[in-house]
């Protein structure tokens, strides 16, 4: 251990510690901007500078290692003045459009400027980093970029995509795409993880709230909305509630007040996905089909697979995702039952995911030329619409989803967590293989926060080797092992976002990044709580699903089901 003094207080820390870590051990908060523990420890912004007795100049606490006997000052007037000066320099090159910025009041730079007393910017703008690019699902505004590099780190290290990075030198340094192109022209998977880690408003999702307002106000259209499993455990955060709070009832009330004609649930179509995907798994196992079967409901993962692992395209489940299945049945089964022309049904999705906007636009997911889903908004965009309409969300009474496509089971709910699709499928496959109504349904071996989890599940004497992956860099690691013959599985779940949809790129932004893991854990727990409280916890027990098959689609895997609910991807 190394003994040092910080602001006159003694502390012992491991030899490998930085001054920042040592200060945090003493509960001394040194401000940071570019720093992300374990991901981006590069000392590029210099906000964390400190004085070290006997050393010349100031030193960034996030990358300066401790040594025996150091004496550090973290808030001398020299330090405070320097931090203020650094912020003024950053602000000089930052488009100061705070009032109209989507990150107003949720911006780390704004918070630092307030805390350090930055009132005016005494410097001229030095760099022109380009104009806003709105042509992708992920909108980049280089004029607001503070060059922290956090997006580049997440894109390459967590997602193994690497489509944004530093370019140019000196005052012309920028964080940009290859050739400064739109992200849509490259292998960006639209996961939105860069948005969530950006400290300012330089990255945002494409805003589709205008499209949804227009649809809701169009009397010619019958507008139905579906809500993804993970939205209800995070939406409350936008209104001051604890992460993980289940606000399903209030969310449904809010959507009805916003003017949607019907409020339905993606959890319903998650149950439907299990009926189709469980059948597909059993077919492949029994009939020598291509294995491992790999889930296909995460559109970021699908795009990643198409760009980098096209030799696994035939392993992908042919099932559309629950979002798309919902749209397909809304415009067929629901329109038929309600006596409405399918072309007049406008389907809106509320998703925790930015890649769902891309998925909804995919040509191969259309049925007879008709899109399944017409508009996708994120959890953040729904919160914005609720705020715009003056609804006092926290005060709302609860209400229930509309019937026909509003009932769901605990299995549908857990889709929102990493491991959830796997567990939901195992619950149904186990009942089908044993022809029993099994009580032991919590497959805890596939739960957890680790990036790659493997398990052997024995069902009715059949030994199933399964794996659950989250984050596309982890998907690469697993698929590389399969390619080289080091590993083999029957069934794999892949979710593009670390933690699964609860941590999707469209979820509320957590300003205090040190709390991010805890927030993720609370959202995950919120979802397992919904599952535990459900009377029905297996997809095949969903009465509305049974009714739909009986009346409209015969059996899972039927010709009609294939027409509506399945697709294929081109290599």
Instruction: Please give the backbone phi and psi of residue 346, each rounded to the nearest 5 degrees, phi first.
Output: -110, 120
Which entry of ligand SF4, ligand HC0, none binds 330, CB below 5 to 8 A by partner kind? none
Q: DSSP of 436-477, one letter per residue?
A: S--S----GGG-SS-SEEEEEEEETTEEEEEEEEESHHHHHH
Q: Kindly tell me the burial class for residue 156, based on how many C-beta atoms sit within 10 Å of its own C-beta (0-12, 13-18, 19 or more).
A: middle
Q: Kindly tell me the burial class for residue 460, based on how many C-beta atoms sit within 10 Å of its own C-beta (0-12, 13-18, 19 or more).
A: exposed
Select from 28, 353, 475, 545 the one that contacts ligand HC0 (CB under 6 A).
Answer: 353
Is the link from the previous residue into 292 a cis peptide, with omega within 30 of 0? Answer: yes
Tell me the CB-side half-sphere exposure of residue 362, using CA atoms within 13 A. 20
Binding of ligand SF4 by 193 (CB under 6 A): yes
Which entry of ligand SF4, ligand HC0, none binds 499, CB below 5 to 8 A by partner kind? none
Binding of ligand HC0 by 373 (CB under 6 A): no
Spell out the residues 6+ positions from residue 173 whose beta carbon is closer than 8 angstroms to its own.
127, 147, 166, 167
Binding of ligand HC0 by 298 (CB under 6 A): yes
Query: CB of residue 458 vs ligand SF4: minimum separation in angstroms?
Result: 37
Binding of ligand HC0 by 143 (CB under 6 A): no
Spell out the residues 6+ positions from residue 65 whose beta carbon is closer than 8 angstroms to its own.
15, 16, 17, 18, 19
Binding of ligand HC0 by 270 (CB under 6 A): yes
Which entry of ligand SF4, ligand HC0, none binds 245, CB below 5 to 8 A by partner kind? none
Q: Is residue 465 within 8 Å of 478, Cβ to Cβ?
A: no
Q: Is residue 476 within 8 Å of 502, Cβ to Cβ?
A: no
Binding of ligand HC0 by 233 (CB under 6 A): no
Select from 23, 45, 154, 223 the one that contacts ligand SF4 (CB under 6 A).
Answer: 154
Select from 142, 149, 192, 292 the one that contacts ligand SF4 (CB under 6 A).
Answer: 192
48 token code pair:
């964390």
Binding of ligand HC0 by 243 (CB under 6 A): no
Q: Is residue 354 within 8 Å of 137, Cβ to Cβ?
A: yes
How far is the C-alpha of 107 from the C-alpha of 147, rounded, in Å?
15
Query: Whose CA is closest to 571, among 217, 325, 309, 280?
Result: 309
Binding of ligand SF4 by 482 (CB under 6 A): no
How far is the C-alpha of 61 from the C-alpha of 524, rounded, in Å?
33
Hey, which residues between 121 and 140 contact ligand SF4 (CB under 6 A)? 138
Query: CB of residue 233 vs ligand SF4: minimum separation in angstroms?
Result: 22
Which entry of ligand SF4, ligand HC0, none binds 138, CB below 5 to 8 A by partner kind? ligand SF4
Site string for ligand HC0, 316-335 (x = CB under 6 A): -----xxx------------
Q: Is residue 243 within 8 Å of 503, Cβ to Cβ?
A: no
Is the CB of 175 or the CB of 421 nearer to ligand HC0?
A: 421
Select from 82, 93, 110, 159 the one that contacts ligand SF4 (CB under 6 A).
Answer: 159
Which entry of ligand SF4, ligand HC0, none binds 321, CB below 5 to 8 A by partner kind? ligand HC0
Binding of ligand SF4 by 183 (CB under 6 A): yes
Q: What is the 3-state secondary structure (H, E, C) of 185-245?
A: HCCCCCCCHHHHHCCCCCEEECCCHHHHHHHHCCCCCEEEEEECCCHHHCHHHHHCCCCCC
Instruction: Please give the backbone phi and psi of residue 114, each rounded to the nearest 5 degrees, phi first.
Output: -65, -45
Site string for ligand SF4, 86-125 (x = CB under 6 A): ----------------------------------------
What is the sign, positive or negative, of the torsion defined by CA atoms of 522, 523, 528, 530?
Answer: positive
Which entry of ligand SF4, ligand HC0, none binds 500, CB below 5 to 8 A by partner kind? ligand HC0
Which range of residues in 58-66, 182-190, 290-298, 400-408 is near ligand SF4 by CB under 6 A?
Answer: 182-190
Select from 192, 229, 327, 410 the one that contacts ligand HC0 (CB under 6 A).
Answer: 229
280 token code pair:
């597909």
Query: Whose CA is closest to 28, among 50, 58, 53, 52?
Result: 50
Hey, which residues between 253 and 312 contact ligand SF4 (CB under 6 A)? none
Query: CB of residue 154 vs ligand SF4: minimum separation in angstroms?
Result: 5
Q: Is residue 74 within 8 Å of 62, Cβ to Cβ?
A: no
Select from 70, 163, 281, 509 the one that contacts ligand SF4 (CB under 6 A).
Answer: 163
Query: Whose CA is closest to 96, among 141, 47, 148?
Result: 141
How far is the C-alpha of 139 from the C-alpha of 183, rounded, in Å?
8
By annotation, the residues acting in catalysis are 277, 280, 297, 317, 356, 359, 364, 501
Hey, which residues between 381 and 440 contact ligand HC0 (CB under 6 A)? 415-416, 421
Instruction: Please give the backbone phi and psi of residue 86, each rounded to the nearest 5 degrees, phi first.
Output: -60, -45
Which range of residues in 191-199, 332-340, 378-386, 457-465 is near ligand SF4 by CB under 6 A?
Answer: 191-199
Binding of ligand HC0 by 501 (CB under 6 A): yes
Which entry of ligand SF4, ligand HC0, none binds 191, CB below 5 to 8 A by partner kind? ligand SF4
Is the CB of 244 or the CB of 299 nearer to ligand SF4?
A: 299
Residues in touch with ligand HC0 (CB under 6 A) = 228-230, 266, 270, 297-298, 321-323, 351-353, 356, 415-416, 421, 500-501, 504
Residues in touch with ligand SF4 (CB under 6 A) = 138, 154-155, 159, 161, 163-164, 183, 188-194
């Amino acid at each position: 251990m190394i003994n040092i003094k910080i602001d006159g207080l003694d502390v012992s820390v491991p030899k490998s510690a930085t001054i920042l870590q040592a200060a945090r051990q003493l509960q001394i908060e040194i401000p940071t901007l570019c720093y992300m523990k374990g991901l981006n420890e590069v000392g590029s912004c210099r906000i964390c500078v400190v004085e070290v007795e006997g050393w010349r100049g100031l030193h960034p606490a996030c990358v300066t290692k401790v040594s025996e006997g150091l004496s550090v000052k973290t808030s001398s007037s020299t330090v405070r003045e320097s931090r203020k000066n650094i912020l003024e320099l950053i602000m000089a090159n930052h488009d100061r459009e705070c009032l109209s910025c989507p990150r107003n009041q949720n911006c780390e730079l704004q918070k630092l400027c307030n805390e350090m007393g930055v009132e005016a910017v005494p410097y001229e703008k030095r760099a022109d980093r380009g104009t806003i690019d709105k042509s992708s699902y992920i909108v980049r505004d280089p004029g607001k970029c503070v060059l922290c590099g956090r997006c580049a780190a997440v894109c390459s290290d967590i997602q193994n995509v690497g489509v944004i990075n530093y370019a140019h030198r000196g005052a012309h340094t920028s964080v940009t795409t290859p050739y400064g192109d739109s992200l849509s022209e490259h292998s960006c998977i639209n996961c939105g993880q860069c948005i969530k880690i950006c400290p300012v408003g330089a990255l945002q999702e494409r805003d589709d709230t205008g499209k949804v307002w227009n649809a809701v106000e169009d009397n010619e259209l019958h507008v139905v909305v579906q809500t993804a499993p993970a939205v209800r455990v995070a939406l409350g955060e936008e209104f001051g509630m604890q992460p993980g709070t289940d606000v399903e009832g209030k969310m449904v009330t809010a959507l009805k007040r916003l003017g949607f004609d019907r409020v339905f649930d993606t959890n319903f179509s998650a149950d439907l996905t299990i009926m189709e995907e469980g059948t597909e798994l059993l077919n492949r196992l029994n009939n020598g089909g291509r294995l491992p079967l790999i889930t296909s409901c995460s559109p970021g993962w699908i795009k990643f697979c198409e760009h980098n692992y096209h030799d696994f395209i035939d392993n992908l489940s042919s099932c559309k995702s629950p979002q798309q299945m919902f749209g397909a049945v809304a415009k067929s089964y629901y329109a038929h039952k309600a006596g409405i022309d399918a072309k007049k049904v406008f389907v809106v999705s509320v998703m925790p995911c930015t890649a769902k906007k891309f998925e909804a636009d995919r040509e191969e997911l259309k049925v007879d030329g008709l899109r399944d889903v017409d508009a996708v908004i994120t959890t953040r965009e729904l919160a914005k619409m609720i705020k715009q309409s003056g609804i006092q969300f926290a005060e709302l009474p609860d209400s229930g989803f509309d019937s026909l496509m509003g009932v769901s089971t605990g299995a549908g709910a857990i889709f929102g967590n990493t491991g959830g699709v796997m567990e939901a499928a195992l619950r149904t496959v186990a009942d089908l293989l044993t022809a029993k109504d099994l009580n032991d349904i919590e497959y805890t071996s596939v739960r957890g926060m680790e990036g790659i989890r493997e398990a052997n599940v024995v069902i009715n004497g059949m030994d199933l080797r399964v794996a659950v992956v989250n984050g596309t860099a982890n998907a690469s690691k697993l698929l590389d092992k399969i390619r080289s013959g080091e590993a083999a599985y029957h069934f794999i779940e892949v979710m593009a976002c670390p933690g699964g949809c609860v941590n999707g790129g469209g979820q509320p932004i957590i300003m205090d990044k040190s709390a991010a893991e805890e927030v993720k854990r609370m959202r995950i727990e919120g979802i397992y709580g919904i599952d535990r409280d459900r009377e029905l916890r297996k997809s095949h027990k969903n009465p509305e699903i049974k009714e739909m098959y009986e009346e409209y689609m015969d059996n899972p895997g039927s010709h009609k089901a294939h027409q509506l609910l399945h697709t294929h991807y081109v290599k």
